[in-house]
Amino acid sequence: MFQDKTLICKDCGSEFIFTAGEQEFYAEKGFTNEPQRCKACRNARKNARGESSNGTREMFDAVCAECGKPCKVPFQPREDRPVYCSDCFANRR
């Protein structure tokens, strides 16, 4: 049913193959748009957002507003907003 397609990356302009298997996966997930970037450009965009290929995020040091313990959070803390450690955050829910 699906056949490999050659697409052009909108970032770097190189050709890449949208395989039949990938097309089938997109159809199963209900995706209606074809990919617009090659694998290398998709990875570069992910890394630019602070995510790496192994799924780690940049963490920032903070002090919990409730218990006062040092903690790490996945966002840049601001002075005007309280930051909670994972335990205190879970207790507030």
pLDDT confidence of residue 48: 77
Query: What are the respective helix, strand and coil percentages of the chain, to the nearest 5?
Result: 30, 20, 50
pTM: 0.51
CA distance 59 to 89: 16
DSSP state letters, 54-65:
T--B--EEEE-T
pLDDT confidence of residue 92: 86
Tens-place pLDDT, residues 9-61: 999 999 999 999 999 999 999 999 999 999 999 988 887 765 555 667 788 99
Domain ranges for the chain: 3-52, 58-90
| Reported confidence tier of residue 1, pLDDT bands at 50, 70, 90 | confident
Q: What is the mean pLDDT of residues 67-82?
A: 92
